[in-house]
Structures are given as C-alpha cells and as structure tokens.
Amino acid sequence: MSTAPNRTGAVADGGPGRAPARAARPAPTPARRALRRARTWLPGLLLVSPSILLIGVFVYGMIGWNTNLALSDKHAPIQEGEFVGLANFIALWQEARWPAAVGNAVVFTVVFVGGALFLGWLLGLLLDKGIRGEPVFRTLFLAPMAVSFIATGVVWRWLMNPAPAERATGLNALFVRFNLDFLVNDWWTAPDFGMAAMALPAIWQLAGYIMALFLAGFRGVPEELREAARVDGCSEWGVYRHVVMPQLRPVLLSAVIILGHMSLKVFDLIIAIAGQQIIADVPAVYMWAMVFEVRDPAKGATIASYLLFAVALFVIPYLVWTVRKERSEGR
Amino acid sequence: MSVQSASGRVTAPGGRAAGTTRRGQTVKFVVLLALAVLFLLPMYVLLVTGFKPFAEATAARAWSLPQTWSGEGWAAAWEALSSGLRNSLMVAVPSAVVSAVLGSMNGFVMARWRFPGADTVFTLFLFGMFIPYQAVMIPLQQMLVGAGLMGGLFPLILAHTVYGIPICTLIFRNYYASIPQTLIEAARVDGAGMLRTYASVVLPVSAPAFAVTLIWQFTSAWNDFLFAVFLTGPNSWPVTVQLNNVAGSMVVPYNQQMAAAVLASLPTLVVYLLLGRYFMRGLMAGALKG
C-alpha cells in the first residue's frame, strides 16, 4: 500500500481532464520516470513542510540549543558561555539537592506507575464483562483525566493535610471521625514515604485512563479464543491469566510508556501540593528554580537534558518498534 | 453455563455472558461501588466546601454538608479567575484550531499521499509528543524574549500549536488510514490532484477526527501549567496559574480555593461529559492506538 502513490504517475498536480493526454506519451527514460514520480509525491512533501519546519525548529532546534547551553558555563543570563564539556552534568551529582530530587522522582515514578497500572487493570477487569451501570462507572473513573493537575493538586493538598489529629482536616479528619486514628499520618510531608503519598493524586487522576486502555484491550480479544480455553477446562480466572493477559502485552507497554514519561517530568502536581518545599523536590521543580530564582541557564539546561535523556531512553525504542510493527502489518 | 445466563444482568455487548455467576456479579458491583466512592471523595470535597460560607470552611466541619449554602466562595473565585478564564479560552481555541488543521494535512499526506522518508518524518514528529517540554523551555523563552514577543498571549498560543502538531498528525493519520485507498485512487484516475483529492474526498469525512483533535488540544492547552509559568506574565496568566496562586496563598479561605478549582475545571469537564466518546478516542490515540 505504501508504494501506491507511485503507480499513477503524473496526475498529481494536473487539473481535471489533463490525465488522458499523458497516457499517450512515448516510453519514458529512467530519469524522466523518476521526475514523474517526484511530481507525484512532491506536493505531499510541500503540504507537510510547514509542520516539518515548525517541528524542526521548535523541537529539534531547541533541543540542540538546550544541549549547547548545558555544555557551556553560561551560569548567568547575561554572561557569554564557553564550552566546558560535561562539567555541568558531573557537577550536579556532587551536590546534595540533585541526587535527592532524582531519588524523589524515582520513588514517585515507581508508586505512581505501579499504582495506576494496578488500579486501572483492576477497574478494567471488573468492568470487562459488562455490569449494571457500566457507563456511569466508566464516566466517573475517567473524569479526573479531564481536569488539570493544578486543580487535582488543590483538592488533594487539602485532603492530605498533615495537621496533627487534634486539629486535623482532610482525610486525617475523616480517619479520626471513624475512629481510625492509627491511619492519621503526615502524608507528603513524611520523610520516609512522602513521595509515595504524593503519587496518590496522580494515581487518582490516571487510573481511569489505564482502565480505558485495558478495557479496550480485553474487549479486543476474540470471544472464540476465550471460549476455546473454557472448553479446554480453563477457569474464568485461568482464561484471563493464560489467554487474555498475554494478548495485552502491547497495551501494558503503551500504558507504562505513557505513565513513565509523565511521571519523570512531573511538575504541576508537585507545585500545586508542595510548592518548592525541598522535601518534595523533583528535577522539574529544581529546573524551574534554576531559571526563575537562581537564574543559571546552564544548570537549568543541564537538568532539562537529563530529563530528556531519561525519557528518550525508553520512548525512542518504543516509537521505532511501534512504527516498524505497524508497517510490517501493512498499514 | 445455564446458571450464568439466568442472571439477567450479564447482557453486555458482544454476548459476554459466559463464566459469570450471580454472586460474582454482586461482589464485582460492590467492589466497583466502593472504588467509586473513593473516586468521588475529592469531588465531594470540592463541591461541598465550595458552597460553604467563609465561617463554615473550617477544619472541624470539614466533611459536613454546609449548614447554610452560600455563593460567596463562587463569587470570590469568579473575581479571582475571570481574567484567567478569558486568557485560557483565547489561547486554547486558536491553538486547537491551527494544530488540528495542520494535523489534518499532515495526517492525509502520511497516510495516503506518502513521500520517500515519510515514516522517518512521522517517527520524528511522534518523538515531539513525548519530549519533556523542559528540554525546549529555556531556548524557547530566550528566543521569544530576543524576538520581543514576550508579554501577551502569543507565546502560549505558539507553544500549544507547535507542540500539538505531533498528536494531531497521529490522530488524523490513523483516521485517514481507514479511508479505503480505492476512494483515493478513484479520485486520482479522475485526474484530481493532491489538494483536490484532499478537499473533495478526504476533508468531507474528517469531522470525527476534527472533533477528537479539537477536544484533545483544547483540553491539554486549557490544563497546561508548565508553558504558562515559563511563557506568560501576570497580565496574560491563564486560569491554571491563577488557580495555583489562589490556592498557594495562605490567606485564601478553603471555600474560595475549592470553588476556584471547580470553576477552572468546569469547561473541560463539560466538554468531557458532553463529548466523552471523542475525548476517549483522543486518549486512545495518545497511546498510539488508532
């Protein structure tokens, strides 16, 4: 299918009624044939060229510029930068703030990705066979996706208020009210599990999305496959484990990529809940502080480069794999 | 089997009735209901607190219904957010329209009028969808300052338009791949050029894909915070920044904060509730699934 445009030769840019005349031409030379082919696809390239230009400049040009900045010693906005190699990249690890921010982002990512995957998968599983009120459940679980992380942060900051039991608000107050005082905790301000608590609002927001992905995946598995397994004596749970879930690996992969790339660059949610408090510091917040408070472009660009690198590490293989697979399936 | 099909409830589309007992259904329903309550807690807090008068927005009455329902939180929130709501609207609408139009053109070419290297270009576009925008932010800011364009809403419109191109291209490409190639061929045999084929064959059937991309772009531009804090000043702050300022200040009472959060989320929530089907498709496209 991909070669189809080449077959029809020179009609690409012709007005109506010009095509029949072309058919009567003498046998073309190879050069002429190439030219004619180019006349077919060239308009396509032209139509895409504004976007190629924009993406070229604003994605790849800016990434190049940013990398350049990260490799320089432009540590003040008005200063000229000299090339210093990887010095900034190494220096970051020698301070206290950066490794702590990376650690926080890792904890957040593990809890958020794991939690959203599990909850989304569970919701998908519960809804898969159809249940009374399914559309209502689906709409409800997916609704947080329509809201900004800032709005989510506003309400969750209130819910996860760490004030002690005697003047507790939010979830702590609810725990006290139901005599579950042992559940009262410091939420995101706790030194040992704070970032795990910080992942709760993100799980709340994204679980519905993962549910929708899994639900589409579950329902894409042909009923005959399930039926065949049942005839072979599989329990309903066995059908899921041995027949349905193995078919869902691509869905799982997509879900991990989406959650993972969101999680590594998490910013809005942290700002809305914790502001710039160091206990909840993550690389994206650190970078923001470098730009607006410390005003150190080279250092900000270095952090941004690390973020890009972390995301690219798993997104590039995924994209190449997806586009190739699609091509081989003859899309 | 007979027991299962007797429970009248399991008549899901596609006849997935097999293998579910009535008791299993009840257990599932109860679990779902419990999870639904958990999911609703934040929404309950938002609405109930928003309707409380200032005197009642205290820790002690945190989870109770308002004794007197009051609009003062809403009035104050509207005051604080109205310019941001207007800014957000003026950013989200034009950038959604422009990226959708560009996405439609790209999608058509990449699905149905391919040029050599189209797959590579497409992959390079897609990567633009996943990059952390932090990686372009400092240069983008410097460039806009250098060009004297900072200050109004233009930087934000530009950013949302450009960085929205990849997902719009993806959605349209997958959509156009489902138009039969024979239809395109027929137009070509009739002597139609690329633009004519696009305008007369492809564009007339594009409405659903436009709905998906417009909704997606509107929602993500509306909910954006990162571009907004880097690229706008106090006069052009969109609603997310204003909301964060309202909520970040220690002196603003909770009833106002919650009302503000609801107010800032209302447009996208309404779009979601009215056009959920298209919203879903956009989400699915975000996972690279047509």
CA angle A312, A105, B161 (to 5 degrees): 50
CA nearest to A13 within chain B: B193
Nearest CA to CA, how far is A102 from chain B (Å)?
15
Min Cα distance A94 → chain B (Å) is 22
The C-alpha atoms of residue B65 and residue A220 are separated, in whole angstroms, by 44
How many angstroms away from the CA of A282 is the closest CA of chain B? Answer: 13
pLDDT in tens, B222-265: 999 999 999 999 999 999 999 999 987 777 788 899 999 999 99
Contact: B225, A271; criterion CB under 8 Å = yes
| Bridge partners (DSSP) listed for residue A72 | A83
Q: Which residue has the higher pLDDT, A2 or A275?
A: A275
Which is higher by pLDDT, A301 or B189? A301
Cβ A217 vs Cβ A248: under 8 Å: yes
B110 and A48 within 8 Å at the Cβ level: the answer is yes
Q: What is the ipTM of this complex?
A: 0.88
CA distances from A219 to A123, A146, B33 (A): 14, 24, 22
User: How many angstroms separate the CA of residue A247 from the nearest CA in chain B?
Assistant: 15
Give SS3 for B253: coil
Chain A environment of B32 (Cβ under 8 Å): 123, 126-127, 131, 137
pLDDT of A17 strictly over 70: no
Give the number of residues written for chain B: 290
pLDDT at residue A203 in the model: 97
CB A133 within 8 A of CB A144: no
3-class DSSP state of A266:
coil
Inspect the interface and report whether the beta carbons of A62 and B140 lie closer than 8 Å: yes
Read off the pLDDT of each residue in B187-195 and give the average, rounded to a whole number. Answer: 84
Nearest to B254 among A158, A265, A297 (CB): A158
* Residue in B125, B198, B280 closest to A55 by CB: B125
User: How high is the pLDDT of residue B88?
Assistant: 97
Closest to A71 measured CA to CA, from A281, A304, A315 = A304
At residue B254, the pLDDT reads: 86
The helices-and-strands tally (H runs, E runs) of chain B is 13, 0
Domains along chain B with CATH numbers: 2-41 (no CATH), 75-286 (1.10.3720.10)
Both tokens assigned to A281: 């510091």
Nearest-by-Cβ selection for A48 from B109, B138, B229: B109
Nearest to A45 among B115, B135, B247 (CB): B115
Domain ranges of chain A: 4-70, 96-328
Contact between A303 and B134 using a beta-carbon 8 Å cutoff: yes
Is the domain spanning A96-328 CATH 1.10.645.10? The answer is: no
Question: How far apart, in whole angstroms, are the C-alpha atoms of residue B102 and residue A8?
Answer: 26
Provide, rounded to the nearest whole percent, the portion of chain B with pLDDT above 90: 60
In the chain, the amino acid numbered B144 is L
C-alpha distance from residue A257 to each of A87, B63, B288 (Å): 30, 37, 11
